[in-house]
Amino acid sequence: MYAYIKGILAEITEDAIIVENQGIGYEIAVPGQVFDYLPSVGEEVKIYTYHYVREDAILLYGFLTKEDVRIFKMLIGVSGIGPKGALSILSVLSTDDLRFAILGDDAKAIAKAPGVGAKTAQRVIIELKDKLSLEDAFEQKLANQAQKAELNPAVGVKNEAILALTSLGYSQSEALKVLQGIEISPDDQVEDVLKMALKQMAFL
């Protein structure tokens, strides 16, 4: 129903974002890795979506690229994997890493996702391996790296700052929230970003 939603990033929660478009706030569940590439709250964002309907709920799942949506659809097509399980896998592994895990029979990497056991991970490999190729995996990785670098070239600095904050005892959601309010460029030093974040933490 919705190919993508483009609007203002209004709010970031533990496992979802709210994007406002023409006065409507769309709550979109996203995998953890999406948070690394989001703009600051109040800025424009474009999220590719999958519209999921069941008897008791209508849900939106969001991703950075069309390819991420395609892989998500492949995952929920695996017997025993629902949207929640697919989102869990894509929070632990990027779509690129997941392709290589499937092609390399690395069930342990897939089973690291919360709620996904060894048998389910093996089933993902069995059912999806024939639908992927090593050549496409390398091509998609290069394309995704370029696209995600455009979305947020400072993601490396941001990730290091998140790791530093979590090592100090802050939760990942707290770290993400405070870093959303700091403008980070690829030239910034992690130490400087961390100092600014800790100052803001003191006022939370």
Same domain, 193 and 137: no
Same domain, 144 and 164: no
Same domain, 140 and 197: no
Give the per-residue pLDDT at 185.
Answer: 67
Give the per-residue pLDDT at 197.
Answer: 82
- The distance of Cα 200 from the centroid of its chain, to the nearest Å, equals 25
Residue pLDDT, tens place only, 41-52: 888 999 999 999
Residue 77 main-chain phi, psi, to 5 deg: -85, -10
CB 166 within 8 A of CB 175: yes
If one counts the domains in the chain, the total is: 2
Task: Indicate the range of 87-96, 112-121, 178-187 predicted with least confidence.
Answer: 178-187
Same domain, 31 and 103: yes
% pLDDT > 70, the chain: 85
Mean predicted confidence (pLDDT) in 162-174: 77
Give the per-residue pLDDT at 17.
Answer: 94
Give the per-residue pLDDT at 20.
Answer: 96
Give the per-residue pLDDT at 50.
Answer: 95
pLDDT band per the 50, 70, 90 thresholds, residue 76: very high
Same domain, 9 and 78: yes
Same domain, 140 and 165: no
CB 49 within 8 A of CB 59: no
Residue pLDDT, tens place only, 113-145: 998 989 999 999 999 999 887 777 677 766 666
CATH number, position 22: 2.40.50.140
DSSP labels, 52-107: EEETTEEEEEEESSHHHHHHHHHHHTSTT--HHHHHHHHHHS-HHHHHHHHHTT-H
Mean pLDDT (the chain, rounded): 84
- Which structural domain range is residue 66 located in? 4-151
Mean predicted confidence (pLDDT) in 47-66: 90
Q: Which residue, 72, 22, 18, is CA-closest to 45?
A: 18
Same domain, 121 and 147: yes
Same domain, 86 and 108: yes
> What's the rounded Cα separation, in Å, for the pair 189 and 183?
12
Give the per-residue pLDDT at 145.
Answer: 60
Mean predicted confidence (pLDDT) in 22-40: 89
> What's the rounded Cα separation, in Å, for the pair 121 and 90?
13
Same domain, 165 and 132: no
Q: Which residue, 143, 204, 158, is CA-closest to 39?
A: 158
Give the per-residue pLDDT at 194.
Answer: 81
CB 59 within 8 A of CB 44: no
Same domain, 89 and 163: no
